[in-house]
Every structure is written in C-alpha cells, then in structure tokens.
Amino acid sequence: MYQSFIGLEIHIQLLTRTKVFCGCRSAFGEEPNTNVCPVCLGYPGVLPTLNAEAIRMAYVVARTLNCELAEYSLFERKNYYYPDLPKNYQISQYAAPLGRGGYLDIEFHGKRKRVGIHEVHLEEDAGKMIHAGDMSLLDYNRAGTPLLEIVTEPDMEIGDEAELLLQQFRRMVRYLGVCDGNMEEGSMRCDANVSVNRHGQGLGSKVEIKNLNSSRFVRKALNHEIARQEEILSHGGTIPQETRLWNENRDLTETMRTKESAHDYRYFPEPDLPPFTTTAQFLGAVEASLVELPLERRDRFIEQYDLATHQADFLTEERPLADYFEAAVEHGAEAHAAATWLAADVRKMLNRRRIEVQDSPLTPKRLAELLQLLAESRIHGKIAKQTLGEIFETGRDPLEIIRENGWEQITDPATLSEYVDQVLARHPKAVQQVRDGDSKPIGFLVGQVMKASSGRAEPRAVQELIIAKLELKVVQVLSFGGAISGVRRADGLVEPGDLVSLGELFAQDGFADSVRFDELHLGRFLSEEITPQDWAILLSEVASRLQTGAADGIVIAHGTDTLSYTASLLYWCFADTSAPIVLTASVLPHDKPGEEPHPHSDALRNLKAAVRKAMSGEPGVHVIYGDADFSPLNLKFEGLLPFSAPSRAHEAAGRKGAVGDRGAAESAAAGALSLGRFRNWNMESPVYRGRPISREIGELPRAELTRKLEQAVRSVFIAKVFPGMQGDTLIALMNAGVRYFILELFDTGTANLRETPYSLRKAFQHGEQAGALFFCTSQQEIAVDFSEYVTGHELWREGAIPMGRLTTESVYTRLLAALMVAENDDELVKLMED
C-alpha cells in the first residue's frame, strides 16, 4: 500500500495599479515593451521602491490563509539567469517571508480536510521570451508585476484534492479582488510536487511538476505521476528527485532536469530594500480588506436563504453575483425566486449580451420589483419574462413597462368570476369530465379564461376559482400496481387488479364524497414489474395534480417490493410538496367486490389510513403501512412478521416462495397491526419534507421524462460488493455502457483493493479513464464514511463518492432524479452530495 504527498506552489499576479518596484502600469495584453522603465528593465543605477498596494494585498492573502503574519519581513535576491529576468536576480523572500503556518480547508466528497500553508511571500515576475524562427524575442511588460507565491504543505494525496484546492484558492483571491485567477493568461500559475512512499514511511523523494496551465492538468498530471511512481516502486525501483514537465498532448510527465542540475540561487538579503515592518495602522488596513469568503458565504446562503447547495454554489462562485443576489433580496426579492431567475433567465440574457450582471440594466432593485410583481400575481410568468427582456432592451423599471403595455394581470375576484362563469357555461362537456374525476380539462378551462381575458387573467386565481366553483376538494388515489390493488384468482394466485373495487368498498364507509379514485392507465402490473415508463407516468400525473391544485392530497397504492424505490423517487422530485403524497401497500390483496373479503387482508385498512393521512393536509411524502408513518427515504422492506407464528399452510403455490411467509403473516394479522416489516434505516426521526433535487422534473413533458428516465436507468448499475468480486466484471459493465455505479460496500465503506484479480482498484482506474462514477452505500445499517479503515481511505483516494447515511434504494432514485436534470458530471456530483 502506498501513500502519496502532494504540495502546491501557487503564483498569483496581484491586481495593483503599478508594478511592485516601479511606477509602470501593471497591465496584461498591451503592445510589447510599452509598460517599461529603467527600473523594471534593470538599467544600471536604478533602485526598487516597494509598492504599498502590493504589500497590503500580500498580507491580506496571508491573513485570509490564516497565516502567522511576519512583523518583519525581508526581501532577498534570488540569483538565477534567464534572458527574461532583467536584473538576472529576482527580488523575492526567503528567510523571513511575510506569512507562515496557515491553512486552507477543502471539502472533497463530503470530507473536510485542512491543507497547511507553509508560507506566503511576495516577489516580482519576469518578462516573457518568445521564440520566433531563429530569433528570440523579449517582452518586459510583465517584468516587475507583483507576484505572490503560496506554498502549501504536502498535505494532499490525490490530484483531485489539488484541483479542488486550486479552484477554491482561485475563488478566494477573486473575492478578495487581489487577482483575477486566470490560469490560461498566466495571472495564476501552479507548480506541483509529489512524493510517493510505502504507507507509514513518510515522505519519499520529491518530484516537481511544471507546465500545469489549468487546474484540470494539475489533477491529471498528479494522478498520472502518482501512478507512475507507484508502478516504479512496486517493481522495486527508486524515484529520483527531479523536475518533470506535464505534456498535455500526451497526457504524461517527462523529465525536465534532475537534482544535479538544480539551481544554486545564492539567496542574500536585498540591500536596496529595508525589511518591511508592520504597524498597527498597516494591520488595520489589512483587516479592513478582509471579506466573507466563498465557502462561508455559500454556507450562510444555504442557512439564511434556505437555498440548495448547488444554488448557493452558483450564486457565490463570483462575488459580484453574490453581492447582486443579496442586494436584490434586500430590495424585497424572494430568495428562491431570485436564485432561480438569476440561474436561468437572467443568465441567458447576460450571456446573450456578453455582459456581467453588475453592469446590466437589470439592477438588483429592478429584479426585486419584477419578482415582487410576479409573487403578488400582478403579472404571470410569461409576462415576467417579456418584461425582463424589455428591461434589458430599454433599461426602464418593470412597473413602468408593464403599465405601458397593459400587461398587469386581472386579480380582482369579481372580474375573474365573470370570466370563469362564462367559460364554464360555454364548456359543459369539460365541466362534466372534471366532475367525473378527470383533472385534465381544468387546464383547458383555465386556458379558455386566459383567452377570454386576452391573457391578463391571473392563471392561478382562475384555476382556484374553477376548482372552487366545481367544488373539487378531493383526495385522489392512484393505483400503481401491487397486491393492494390486485385480486386473487380462483387458483389462489394474486394477479394485478385495479382499485375500482376498493372505491366501491369505500362508499360503504361513507368516505366516498371526498375521495376520488383515479386509475392510472398503466396496464395491470405487480410492483416488481415497474418500468421507467411507469415511473414517468406516475411522476407526471402527480406533478399535474399538484400543479393544478386538483387534489388536496394524493394516495398512491403500491406494491411492497419496490415501494422503497418509488417512495424515495417521489421524495427527490416532490419533497417540498404542500399537498401530502402518501404511498401505501399491502401484503395481501383485497378480494373482488361482492366476494367475501379475505379475512386478514391489510389492503383496505392500509388504504384507509393512507387516505386519512392525505386528508390531514400534513405536507411531504409519507409511506403509510400498518399504523406507522414511514419516511420515504432509506425505507427497507425487511420482511414479514412474525416468522414464528403457526402457519395456516395456505395455498401450496406462491410466487418467489413467499407464500409460506405470507401465510405466516396472515395468521399473525389478526393480532398484529402490520403484516410486513418496514423500517427506515439510519434515521432518528422520519424525514417527510425537504428540498427536491429539482423542481423541473415534474414539469417535463411526459415523453421527455420517459426518455430521460430510460436513459438514466440504462447508465446505472447497482453492485453489491461480495468476497470474490472481480474488478474486471465492473470494467465489462463499463464497456457495456454503464457510467454510474452504486457500490453497496461492507460496513462503513470497505472493499478489496489489494493487488489481486479480486481487487476493485483496476475498475476504479479504468473508471477514471472512462469517466465512470462510483457512489458508495453500505450493506449494513451504518453511514458510509471512508475515514475508518485503510481500505476505505484507499477507496476515497480512488475517487469513490461516499453517500453517507443514504441506502442503496434512495441513492439509486436520487441518481435517476439527478441524471434527469444535471448538465454534466460536476453538477451531478454536486446534486448527489448536496
């Protein structure tokens, strides 16, 4: 087992007005050799003068990195020769850098890690040498630009962590306004060093890697280099101390120079600059320059505005957007709405016009006003978008635009009532359909009112009015297969049925007025036969009912076997529902109407309990089974109770051999409240409500939803790790198109990574190449956390993503939901870890 140690040397150009030791402008991309003077060209007799802004920014960065700030920092000459270095020495810091002993925290797949900062020091940049044909050209515009070097401790283990640290550091300096962090243009640069050794033996020989022009290359080069070194070590070889270059075309590192040819920089104190000594006033200015950092701000946004992590991430990525968002909220915008609009419509407008949000005609105040108009239903969504366009076009206030165009909605109940009455009178057929339990014509009726009012009626108010006028206060019960809606054939076998029979039974119980039974036209099936298409139909039906407000509660009758999947899927899609969504199931079917009901069937009892829950108005997604109200997440169908009860030796034939159990359960049913045994794993108190993965899912057209779900399901594989499992099997699956694995590991997340055919390491390495992701759950009731065992740690190093307390079923459906909305794998991982 090997251990790797990664450290970074990051250089950033500070955004000062002038260069660090002279009065030349510090600017990128100008005519060569125009921002130069005798000082930065190294003419004889010139002296450096320290730029006050540069030293302040340098201390601000060091302070933000939690460094100990030097009261007395010393400049030194670093002597080396290169034509682009005007003085042939670089003024830098060595013995007494301005900052030491700091840290930066990163979060890698849910694990927070502290990376030490060895030191921070200020120096000057060199010029640029360009080789053109048989000539070498020099541009000294960059010479003397203030450069801050940040050296981390070798606290990272894999390239992914280094990439993350670099990205986070970049955001940090952009927030501080001290660097634009552009790695392509070189205003931020990174060299990496890595050493690999046998576990527990400390640092190995240090290999430096240069030519890393993006954070992605940092990751790739380091991971390549670690693999290369491990390969050498595992064959008994040794690693020479050297500097290597990353070859981005060939995806590998190559020797640049060995230790023997290393420089002797002959550092000595710069006699032209006295040591810089801090004063209370200077330190006060440093403190005044500190800002709330992206991570803190993100966490605050989640907390304060109840945003999803990915929303908060988006908003806080750049400081101007975060400032803008808060300004809009300050002006009265609702936070969620502002976040959604900024991420979608506003972003589109900005991209089209290629402007930054802070420079756009859409001021935070205007956005707030627009969203308020929308929230107050004075305009509807389509008009809001049109108004947004107008604001960008004309730079005027939303209210002004709306008034001028006569876009304000009609919300006055009396006026709306007139329109609705007219429409209802004109469409008796649609009205009858709705009264008969079909909610679809509601949309049609709303549309008619909109048409009649030239689009100015407020649709939600119209819809509410229609529902009120048609007196539609209903709990809708959807049948989604399973024994609960099944029937027992004459031979005793259970086959798919429908719920109509139960509806009739309900009538006898005096429930019926307010309970509407909808049978989804899915064909008849048992819950083990569910397809992605079935889910797509269910999701869109639920969504349309929630959206039209046609139901005050929804009950879904389901089979027991796959209940934990459907329940969690509904949660990921509708976790913020205000109308209760209640799933229920039964072990035994009710029998056909008119026939003697099965004496121990739990179907009717569970269904009634579910309907009561749905009518209770308690928001969220619930699973009602027996007397219990389970969370839809981490639901485990653990079996049937009690096994020990005397069997009535019911029907000889049964499916999956469960009939015997069923018999046992039945016999116990007379006394027991529940026949089956469900339990929520890893959960102290049940979770019913929360934030959905995305609110968009339910709004997708059914065909698209089906397509996306089918596509998602095809790319996912659930693999339960077992002794003797071979990495090659997973590779074969990858070759067959699987991109997302849910690995059900042992314990807190362990698996075999020892170098044998039974190791999963090859699968991970192949996965890295193939772009596969591994989400990890446990076979036991315990949270997956890679910090416990060596093998877990190795897994984490290989890029496996721990899913914490979530069970395999919940992770699977979450993955499906996330796959339907994520634009790329980065976003997917964020949604999964949120």
Partner 1 sequence: MSYWNRVLHDARRREAYTKFVRTQDAGLGAFLEFDPARRLDPPLAEHADPGDVSYAGSVSRARSRGAAAGGETPESALAGVPFAVKDNIAVAGFNLTCASRILEELQSPYTATAVRRMEAAGARVVGKTNLDEFGMGSSTDNSALGVTHNPYDHTRVAGGSSGGSAAAVAAGLVPVALGSDTGGSVRQPASFCGVYGLKPTYGAVSRYGLVAFASSLDVVGVCARELSPLQAVFNVIRGLDERDHTSQEPVSGPSAKVSVVGVLTGLQGLDPAVRAAYERTVEYLQGLGYALREVELSTLKYVVPAYYTIATAEASANLARYNGVRYGLRPERAENPDELVRIARDEGLGPEVKLRILLGTYVLRSGFQDQYYLRAQRIRTAIRNELARAFDNVQAILTPTVPVLPFAHGEGELTAFQQKLADIFTATASLAGIPALSVPCESTTGGLPVGMQLLAPAFAEERLFAVAGRLAEAAGERGLVARPENYPPLPDWAAAKGYELDWS
Per CB under 8 A, which of residues 57..96 are in contact with partner 1? 77, 79, 81, 83, 86-89
Q: Give the residue with the Cβ less far from partner 1, 53 or 334.
A: 53
Burial of 273 (0-12, 13-18, 19+ CB in 10 A): middle
The answer to whether residue 722 forms part of the interface with partner 1 (CB under 8 A) is: no
The alpha carbon of 494 is separated from its chain's Cα centroid by a whole number of angstroms, namely 42
State the Cα–Cα distance between residues 627 and 461, nearest whole angstrom: 38
- Closest contact distance (angstroms) between CB of 247 and partner 1 is 23
User: If binding means CB under 8 A, how many residues of this protein chain bind partner 1?
Assistant: 54
DSSP summary character for residue 189: E
The answer to whether residue 37 forms part of the interface with partner 1 (CB under 8 A) is: yes
Alpha helices in 490-632 (DSSP H): 500-508, 532-548, 563-574, 603-616
Selected range binding partner 1 among 260-268, 488-496, 574-582, 683-691, rule: CB under 8 A: 260-268
370, 398 in Cβ contact below 8 A?
yes
Q: Give the residue with the Cβ less far from partner 1, 21 or 786.
A: 21
The total number of residues shown for the chain amounts to 834
Instruction: Select the binding partner of residue 419 from Zn ion, partner 1, none (C-beta < 5 to 8 A, by kind).
Output: none
Smallest CA-to-CA distance from 688 within 640, 634, 650, 735 is with 634
Which one of 22, 85, 338, 742 is in contact with Zn ion (CB under 5 A)? Answer: 22
The answer to whether residue 133 forms part of the interface with partner 1 (CB under 8 A) is: no
Which one of 202, 236, 271, 646 is in contact with partner 1 (CB under 8 A)? Answer: 271
- Closest contact distance (angstroms) between CB of 87 and Zn ion is 12
| Beta partners for residue 113, in sequence order | 106
The answer to whether residue 387 forms part of the interface with partner 1 (CB under 8 A) is: no
Q: Give the residue with the Cβ less far from partner 1, 44 or 236.
A: 44
Which one of 27, 37, 50, 283 is in contact with Zn ion (CB under 5 A)? Answer: 37
- Closest contact distance (angstroms) between CB of 73 and partner 1 is 10
State the Cα–Cα distance between residues 166 and 190, nearest whole angstrom: 8
The answer to whether residue 261 forms part of the interface with partner 1 (CB under 8 A) is: no
- Closest contact distance (angstroms) between CB of 260 and partner 1 is 14
Which one of 94, 175, 246, 276 is in contact with partner 1 (CB under 8 A)? Answer: 276
Q: Give the residue with the Cβ less far from Zn ion, 124 or 225.
A: 124
Amino acid at 39: V
Contacts of 420 (CB under 8 A, 6+ apart): 449, 462, 465, 466, 469
- Closest contact distance (angstroms) between CB of 54 and Zn ion is 13
Which one of 114, 198, 266, 435 is in contact with partner 1 (CB under 8 A)? Answer: 266
Contacts of 753 (CB under 8 A, 6+ apart): 759, 760, 761, 791, 794, 795, 798
Q: Which helix (H) or strand (E) holds 793?
A: helix 790-797
Which one of 27, 41, 658, 783 is in contact with partner 1 (CB under 8 A)? Answer: 41
The answer to whether residue 731 forms part of the interface with Zn ion (CB under 5 A) is: no
Q: Which helix (H) or strand (E) holds 242?
A: strand 242-247
Query: What b/e sequence results for 54-88 when a residue is b if at least 16 CB atoms lie within 10 Å of its CB, and e otherwise?
Result: bbbbbbbbbbbbebebbeebbbbbbbeeeebbbbe
Smallest CA-to-CA distance from 562 within 637, 660, 479 is with 637
CA dist 113 → 68, 104, 157, 374, 833 (Å): 20, 8, 11, 43, 16
- Closest contact distance (angstroms) between CB of 704 and Zn ion is 60
The answer to whether residue 373 forms part of the interface with Zn ion (CB under 5 A) is: no
Selected range binding partner 1 among 277-285, 347-355, 542-550, 584-592, rule: CB under 8 A: 277-285
State the Cα–Cα distance between residues 318 and 194, nearest whole angstrom: 31
The answer to whether residue 129 forms part of the interface with partner 1 (CB under 8 A) is: yes
How do beta strands 581-585 and 621-625 pair?
A: parallel
The answer to whether residue 782 forms part of the interface with Zn ion (CB under 5 A) is: no
The answer to whether residue 389 forms part of the interface with partner 1 (CB under 8 A) is: no
The answer to whether residue 103 forms part of the interface with partner 1 (CB under 8 A) is: no
Instruction: Select the binding partner of residue 44 from partner 1, Zn ion, none (C-beta < 5 to 8 A, by kind).
Output: partner 1
The backbone region for 799, taken as left when phi is positive above 0, alpha when psi lies in -120 to 50, beta otherwise, is: left
Q: Torsion angle, CA of 647/650/651/654, rounded to 10 degrees?
A: -50
- Closest contact distance (angstroms) between CB of 20 and partner 1 is 8
Alpha helices in 682-770 (DSSP H): 702-714, 727-735, 761-770
Selected range binding partner 1 among 52-60, 289-297, 322-330, 701-709, rule: CB under 8 A: 52-60
Instruction: Select the binding partner of residue 783 from partner 1, Zn ion, none (C-beta < 5 to 8 A, by kind).
Output: none
Q: Give the residue with the Cβ less far from Zn ion, 22 or 763.
A: 22
DSSP three-state, residue 194: strand
The answer to whether residue 142 forms part of the interface with partner 1 (CB under 8 A) is: no
Radius of gyration from C-alpha coordinates of the chain: 33
The answer to whether residue 282 forms part of the interface with partner 1 (CB under 8 A) is: yes
State the Cα–Cα distance between residues 764 and 741, nearest whole angstrom: 11
- Closest contact distance (angstroms) between CB of 89 and partner 1 is 5
168, 114 in Cβ contact below 8 A?
no
State the Cα–Cα distance between residues 578 and 580, nearest whole angstrom: 6
The answer to whether residue 620 forms part of the interface with partner 1 (CB under 8 A) is: no
Selected range binding partner 1 among 17-25, 155-163, 298-306, 383-391, rule: CB under 8 A: 17-25
Q: Give the residue with the Cβ less far from partner 1, 92 or 778.
A: 92
Selected range binding partner 1 among 32-40, 352-360, 556-564, 733-741, rule: CB under 8 A: 32-40
Q: Give the residue with the Cβ less far from Zn ion, 22 or 122.
A: 22
Contacts of 18 (CB under 8 A, 6+ apart): 24, 25, 26, 51, 53
Q: Give the residue with the Cβ less far from partner 1, 59 or 419.
A: 59
The answer to whether residue 394 forms part of the interface with partner 1 (CB under 8 A) is: no
Q: Give the residue with the Cβ less far from partner 1, 88 or 405.
A: 88
Which one of 3, 51, 316, 548 is in contact with partner 1 (CB under 8 A)? Answer: 51
Contacts of 574 (CB under 8 A, 6+ apart): 542, 543, 546, 581, 621, 692, 698
Which one of 273, 327, 672, 782 is in contact with partner 1 (CB under 8 A)? Answer: 273
Q: Give the residue with the Cβ less far from partner 1, 128 or 762.
A: 128
Q: Give the residue with the Cβ less far from Zn ion, 25 or 655.
A: 25
Instruction: Let me know the angle formed at the C-alpha of 252 by 220 and 119, rounded to the nearest 5 degrees.
Output: 55
Which one of 2, 9, 50, 690 is in contact with partner 1 (CB under 8 A)? Answer: 50
User: If binding means CB under 5 A, how many residues of this protein chain bind Zn ion?
Assistant: 5
Contacts with partner 1 by CB under 8 A lie at 16-19, 21-24, 37-39, 41-55, 77, 79, 81, 83, 86-89, 129, 136, 138, 140, 264-268, 271-279, 281-282
Binding residues for Zn ion (CB under 5 A): 22, 24, 37, 39-40
